[in-house]
């Protein structure tokens, strides 16, 4: 899992000013999910690659660093990358390379390329979304998009307290480091290290629970009840928000038409690489 | 165990989303009837804590590290898998949106593995063994089995999706989580012992004693 102590940095980044940062929260959420959906459905790499180019342009408009975004992407790749790397070796198909018992098939290689392209585009969309949208705005977008009330409220309160626990976690790590504690240290018994991690998790759990109780009491004392509603600033999407969303939808429609009419001329880019 | 976007076909993602919606319906109903009006702030702050706990490295031999899942832990604390569903839905949603850890389209599958399967296997194993081997050993076995079965569910989903053949995916996922599960079990027991010692009222299994 990614390092959550980076959360503060992401929220700082999300609070900056740019045409993408200033878009309405719902528009950014819908466009991100739309791009991910199109990518997941794509069986050819043509549309995902053009979408990636479009996302790189959006990244520039959002004044985000290509280097930082690439670093974040590289940190996220290993999770799915482990599954992708085996594909050329395990999927049945025509053998295009072999050495002893090891062989690479064309079907497996194509499938690995498609999965990798899909993953890169989806992660780029997520990086742009999380770097241009503060957590509170994300929670508010879900509420405005009619997420079930109880779940939306859990999400809204959770994101408020996330930073508290991130701070707590950073403090714990700092104090452990100051005492030369390392989970891989050979100078201390393994059992003892596991126990220390267990105590830390137990303490975090207890703190979370007790904080939850305190929050509940302070909310009740201020009039919170089952019927309470979260406050949402009334902000309607503007013309620029609709233009942004429509541009993405129109680009995808045009790409679908090109793929449908000229898939033969697109060569490898228009070839169906999916196995499912 | 976090399945990314693009690894499961959209038709199958929809099935997992339907399962998630049904599970959420029952979980919200459970929260309303069992946790009074304090359920929302309590579960929300607990979710924030679980989010932090899930990002903590746990020591695994051979120099690697992993992360605690905690589905069984939450289900055992509340004696209800519904609590795990509520907590993990928001945790996995934020993980997917901020860190790209697990996919948005695969959210249903990820909640199914870690909260529904993990929570149910954990809780019902605990309930089945509690009377015979004692609560802490039962919780340990439950957390271990929950981790292994959740990994098995993940391997089966990837197999059905065609992304990873089951004959390779199942043995490798189960074997890896066989060891990860032992650490998860030890940590779950330590957390439960600590809760029982310092705040026994928070554990649902002590409710009858209160």
Token look-up 């996220």 returns A76
CA–CA separation, B48 and B90 (whole Å): 9
| Mean of all residue pLDDT scores within chain A | 87
ipTM over 0.85: yes
Q: What's residue A224's pLDDT?
A: 76
Q: How many CB atoms lie within 10 A of CB B96?
A: 24
| List of residues 6+ apart from B207 with CB closer than 8 A | none
What is the helix (H) or strand (E) element at residue B88, kind and residue range?
Answer: helix B81-94
Q: Are A159 and B94 in contact (CB under 8 A)?
A: yes
> How many C-beta atoms lie closer than 10 Å to residue B67's C-beta?
18
Report CB contact under 8 Å: B41, A205. Answer: no
> Residue B203: its pLDDT value, please?
83
Q: Which residues lie below 8 Å from residue B167, measured CB to CB, with a gap of 6+?
A: none
Asked whether the beta carbons of A144 and A25 are under 8 A apart, the reply is yes
Token pair of A156 as six digits: 């809204």
CA gap A72, A6 in Å, rounded: 10
CA–CA gap between residue A50 and residue A56 (Å, rounded): 10
Secondary structure of residue B75 in the 3-state scheme: helix
**CB-based contact A204 B24, cutoff 8 Å:** no
d(CA B65, CA B58): 6
Per-residue pLDDT, A1: 55
Residue A1: how many CB atoms within 10 A of its CB? Answer: 16
A220 burial type by CB count under 10 A (0-12 exposed, 13-18 middle, 19+ buried): middle
Find out whether A119 and A106 touch, Cβ atoms under 8 Å.
Answer: no
How many beta carbons lie within 10 A of that of residue A37, not counting itself?
17
Give the count of alpha carbons within 13 A of A26, CB side only. Answer: 16
CB contact under 8 A, B6 and A225: no
Any A CB within 8 A of B45 CB: yes
Q: Which residues 167-186 in chain B show a CB within 8 A of chain A?
A: 168, 183, 186
Non-local (6+) Cβ contacts of A41 within 8 A are: B10
B128/chain A closest Cα distance in angstroms: 24
CA distance A75 to A67: 12
Q: What is the mean pLDDT of each run of 10 residues along chain B (210 residues)?
A: 90 96 92 72 82 72 65 91 93 89 93 95 94 93 95 93 88 89 90 87 72
CA–CA separation, B210 vs B207, rounded Å?
5
Å between A202 CA and nearest CA of chain B? 4
Q: Which of A160, A121, A107 is nearest to A37 (CA)?
A: A121
| CB spacing of A190 vs B195 below 8 angstroms | no
Q: Are the C-beta atoms of residues B119 and B24 closer than 8 Å to each other?
A: no
Neighbours of A163 (CB within 10 A): 15
- A36 contacts in B (CB within 8 Å)? 5, 103-105
Task: Please report how the helices A66-90 and A106-132 are oriented relative to each other, as an axis angle in degrees rounded to 10.
Answer: 150
- Comparing alpha-carbon positions, the chain A residue that sits nearest to B53 is A201
Tokens 């594909």 found at: A87
Q: How far apart are CA B56 and CA A196, in angstroms?
A: 12
pTM: 0.90
What is the distance between the alpha carbons of residues A149 and A262, in angstroms, rounded to a whole number? 47
B67 has which bridge partners?
Answer: B57
pLDDT tens for chain A, 276 residues: list them. 556 667 778 888 888 889 999 999 999 999 999 999 999 999 999 999 999 999 999 999 999 999 999 998 888 887 688 889 989 998 888 888 888 888 899 999 999 999 999 999 999 999 999 999 998 889 889 988 888 888 888 888 888 888 888 888 888 888 888 888 887 777 888 888 888 888 888 888 788 778 877 887 888 888 877 677 766 666 788 899 999 999 999 999 999 999 999 988 988 998 899 887
Identify all chain B residues contacting A91, using CB atoms and an 8 Å cutoff.
165
Burial label, B199 (beta-carbon count in 10 A; 0-12, 13-18, 19+): middle
Q: How far apart are CA B183 and CA A196, in angstroms?
A: 12
**In 3D, which of A210, A29, A56, A207 has the Cα closest to residue B94?**
A29
Token pair 């990244």: residue: A59
Contact A205 B198 (CB under 8 A): no
What pLDDT score does B26 carry? 93
Q: How far apart are CA A60 and CA A130, in angstroms?
A: 15
H or E stretch covering A96: strand A95-99
């Amino acid at each position: 899992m990614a390092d959550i102590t980076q959360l503060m940095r992401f929220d700082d980044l999300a609070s900056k000013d740019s045409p993408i940062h200033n878009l309405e929260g719902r528009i950014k959420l819908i466009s991100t999910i739309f791009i991910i959906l199109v990518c997941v459905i794509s069986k050819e790499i043509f549309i995902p690659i053009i979408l990636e180019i479009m996302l790189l342009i959006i990244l520039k408009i959002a004044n985000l660093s290509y280097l930082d975004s690439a670093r974040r992407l590289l940190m996220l790749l290993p999770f799915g990358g482990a599954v992708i790397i085996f594909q050329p070796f395990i999927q049945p198909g025509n053998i295009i390379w072999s050495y002893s018992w090891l062989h690479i098939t064309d079907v497996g290689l194509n499938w690995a390329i498609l999965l990798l392209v899909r993953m890169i585009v989806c992660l780029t969309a997520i990086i742009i979304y999380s770097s241009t949208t503060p957590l509170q705005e994300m929670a508010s977008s879900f509420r405005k998009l009619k997420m079930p009330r109880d779940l939306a409220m859990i999400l809204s309160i959770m994101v408020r307290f996330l930073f508290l626990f991130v701070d707590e976690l950073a403090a714990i790590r700092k104090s452990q480091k100051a005492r030369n504690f390392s989970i891989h240290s050979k100078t201390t018994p393994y059992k003892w290290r596991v126990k220390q991690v267990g105590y830390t998790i137990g303490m975090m759990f207890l703190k979370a629970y007790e904080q939850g109780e305190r929050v509940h009491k302070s909310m009740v004392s201020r009039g919170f009840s089952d019927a309470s509603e979260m406050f949402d600033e009334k902000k309607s999407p503007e013309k620029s928000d609709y233009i942004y969303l429509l541009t993405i939808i129109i680009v995808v429609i045009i790409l679908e038409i090109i793929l449908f009419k000229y898939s033969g001329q697109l060569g490898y880019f228009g070839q169906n690489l999916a196995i499912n | 165990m976090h399945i990314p976007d693009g690894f499961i076909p959209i038709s199958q993602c929809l099935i997992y989303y339907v399962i998630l919606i049904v599970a959420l319906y029952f979980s919200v109903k459970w929260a309303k009837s069992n946790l009074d009006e304090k359920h929302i702030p309590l579960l929300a702050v607990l979710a924030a804590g679980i989010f932090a706990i899930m990002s903590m490295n746990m020591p695994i031999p051979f120099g690697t590290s992993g992360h605690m899942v905690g589905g069984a832990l939450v289900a055992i604390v509340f004696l209800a898998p519904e609590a795990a569903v509520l907590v993990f839905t928001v945790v996995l949603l934020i993980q997917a949106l901020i860190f790209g850890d697990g996919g948005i389209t695969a959210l249903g599958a990820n909640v199914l593995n870690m909260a529904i399967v993990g929570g149910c296997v954990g809780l019902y194993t605990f309930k089945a063994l509690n009377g015979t081997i004692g609560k802490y050993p039962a919780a340990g076995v439950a957390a271990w089995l929950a981790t292994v079965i959740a990994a098995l569910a993940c391997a089966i989903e990837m197999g059905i999706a065609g992304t990873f053949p089951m004959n390779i995916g199942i043995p490798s996922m189960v074997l890896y989580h066989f060891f990860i599960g032992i650490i998860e079990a030890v940590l779950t027991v330590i957390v439960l012992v600590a809760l029982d010692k310092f705040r026994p009222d928070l554990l649902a299994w002590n409710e009858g004693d209160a």
